[in-house]
Amino acid sequence: MAFGRRAKEDQEPDTMLGLESRTGAGDTSSETFLGAGSVLSGELRFAGSVRLEGSVEGQVWAGQTVIVGEGAQVDATIEAETLEVYGTVVGDIRVTRQTVLHKTAHVEGEIQTAGIVVEEGARFKGCIVIGPERADAVPKVASSDVPPLAAVRPDPMNPTTPE
């Protein structure tokens, strides 16, 4: 089975995997589509953009944009230039430009991104690091390293006066 780019006039989906690849005339980028009902596991690499509507487990790397469709279930690490999430992602995310969590998104994991937009209604559980730093430069913080709230803020019902 081969994967490749197809000209716009020759767009036929790969029916075994639900994959469709598109390019425009003179366009060096490509867009790949993983259809609903498709299930892929492993390391997926795309030179251009990819739209995921099915189920993916493992790692996803795209040279441009990853779009996670509303019905998609992605249990993977995602690395891309930009990311738009409408569906579910469980895993760490590394994005060099912008991450958008739409109102139907459900994301669990760590997000490292240069910029983020979170629409009202989107659900997120995890950690977000915003900025151009590299992901391996971000120190990991264990919950045991964080002091309890009572240690950093006095009880509002029992104020103490400074001595």
Question: Are 52 and 76 in contact, with CB atoms under 8 Å apart?
Answer: no
Residue 110, pLDDT score: 97
Lowest model confidence (mean pLDDT) among 21-30, 60-69, 94-103, 117-126: 21-30
Domain ranges in the chain are 11-134
Name the least confident of 13-22, 47-56, 123-132. 13-22
Tell me what percent of the residues of the chain surpass a pLDDT of 70: 63
Kindly state the average pLDDT of the residues 4-20. Answer: 40
Q: What are phi and psi of 77, to 5 degrees?
A: -80, 135
